[in-house]
A and B are shown apart, each in its own frame.
Chain A
Amino acid sequence: MDPVVLFFILGVIARLARSDLRLPEALYEALSIYLLLAIGIKGGVELAQQPIGAVLPQAMAAMTLGAAIPFLLFPVLFKLGKLPRADSAAIAAHYGSVSVVTFAVASSFLLKNDITSESYMPLLVALMEAPGLVAGILLARIGGARRISWGPLTHEVLFGKSVLLLLGGLAIGAIAGPQGIKPIEPLFIGLFKGVLALFLLEMGLVAGGRLPDLKRAGAFLVVFGLAAPLVLGTLGAFVGHLIGLSLGGTALLATLAASASYIAAPTAMRIAVPEANPALSIGVSLGVTFPFNITIGIPLYLELARWIGG
């Protein structure tokens, strides 16, 4: 098992054992800023070496996939799970958006197995953040009387730290190029895996803390949190294969489709769909799907990509 995943498990154990271990909030913030920038910069450097127009079909496909996911999940949550409309839509939006850390773990897993992927994958991560959120908000508001104030919401999503830093990192990497990036390479490329490990320790503490929410959420959501990534991962792998991604790229797109956001989505949903109970959406995305993806899901999506491609 990848050592970064072991850090995550250590965090969960510490939390469940009621250890006093707690990472300062400022460190969490610093680590997440670092990870977003580092993923962006690495992608940007490689993106600079190819024409940007060539990526357009893949970018459109990834965004469509992100927007389609909430429409697939909403009926399952609303009709089958009998959850209120707002909660169904908010949970669906979390899965429509993507988890950058899950992407980082998947990238590190591919690297460990000497599998390359398309250099523009970080760009797809940034592009896939928003469409799922918009779809989720629309689902929450269909038939509702409450008007949505799109202005503050658009600002929150586009200039929220995850999209801003990913796109900012991509731009910095692309403008500076391989030579320009050399002086900052030891920090942003060399230390990446170590920082990811530390970040996952904190994520383990956070995810472990979400487990009590699951008792309230009930068995349906736990099953949903395990089944949704499998179905969405398969869908993502098929889309990746259809748009001609490599083995690594297909596995990453499957991972992105299967992942649920926990940075951009909770904030956006609190603003746009305040009547949704955040304990449900965060409990299932962070307490079930995130741990599932980084331990079992990612190796599975790689096998899936192999099977579909082969």
Chain B
Amino acid sequence: MQTHARKLLVIIAEAALEKGLIHDARAFGAHGYTLYDVRGGGDRGDREASWEADRSIEMKVICDAAVAERLASHVLATYAPNYAVTLFVTDVGIFRPQKF
């Protein structure tokens, strides 16, 4: 079956950024996103999701390379200096090009 090349951008961040990230993903041209509640730790301490201010999310966005680039640059510039943010991008193959 034929696949089409896209980028998968994964953003792991404090839950306080959820609304902002969803808004940004849409605004920069992503067609959709998937969110999970996650736990983890890093330079800024452990985030165990046990109460409101301790929650983290993982957001997955499948989009074309240009959108992934713009969105990632925006997240790095806007949120990364002051918030716990991890992001990475990887290549994926999708089946329905019109959807992403």
Write the nearest CB–CB distance from B45 to chain A, whole angstroms: 6
Residue of A nearest to B55 (CB): A25
Q: Which residues of B contact A (CB under 8 A)?
A: 14, 16, 19, 37, 44-46, 48-55, 79, 81-83
CA gap between A263 and B51 in the complex, in Å? 8
Determine the distance from Cα of A263 to Cα of B53 in the docked complex, in whole angstroms.
7
Told that A202-B51, A209-B50 touch, could you supply 10 new A-B pairs with CB distance under 8 A? A23-B50, A206-B50, A209-B48, A262-B52, A263-B52, A266-B52, A267-B53, A274-B79, A278-B53, A282-B53
Q: Given A23-B50, A25-B50, A266-B53, A152 and B19 touching (CB < 8 A)?
A: yes
Chain A CB within 10 A, most for which of B16, B44, B48, B81: B16
Q: Which of A202, A212, A274: most chain B CB closer than 10 A?
A: A274
Q: Write out the residue numbers on chain B whose beta carbons fall within 8 Å of the beta carbon of A275.
A: 81-82
Once the chains are docked, how many angstroms separate the CA of A226 from the CA of B14? 29
Give A206 to B79 CA distance when docked, in angstroms.
26
Please determine whether B53 and A270 come into contact, CB atoms closer than 8 angstroms: yes
Which residues of A (239-297) have their CB < 8 Å from a CB of B? 262-263, 266-267, 270-271, 274-275, 278-279, 282
Q: Is A182 an interface residue (CB 8 A)?
A: no
8 Å CB contact of B37 from A25, A263, A270, A274: A25
B82 to chain A: which residues have CB within 8 Å? 274-275
The answer to whether the Cβ of A79 comes within 8 Å of any Cβ in the partner chain is no
In the complex, which range does the number of interface residues on chain A fall in? Answer: 20 to 34
A205 pairs with B16, CB closer than 8 A: no
Asked whether B19 lies within 8 Å of A202 as measured between CB atoms, the reply is no
CA separation between A45 and B14, bound complex, in Å? 38
Q: Closest residue to B50 on the A side, CB-wise?
A: A206
Complex contacts, A23 vs chain B, CB 8 Å: 50
Is A22's beta carbon under 8 Å from chain B?
yes
CA distance A25 to B46 in the complex (A): 16
A149-174 CB contacts (< 8 Å) to partner B: 152
* Chain B residues with CB below 8 A from A205, complex form: 50
**Is A213 an interface residue, CB under 8 A from the partner?**
yes
Q: Output the nearest chain A residue to B46 by Cβ-Cβ distance.
A: A209
- Cα A28 to Cα B48 in complex, Å, equals 13
CB-based nearest A residue for B17 = A270
| 7 contacts across the A-B interface (CB closer than 8 A) | A22-B50, A23-B50, A25-B55, A209-B50, A266-B52, A267-B53, A270-B14
Question: Cβ of B83 and Cβ of A274 under 8 Å apart?
Answer: yes
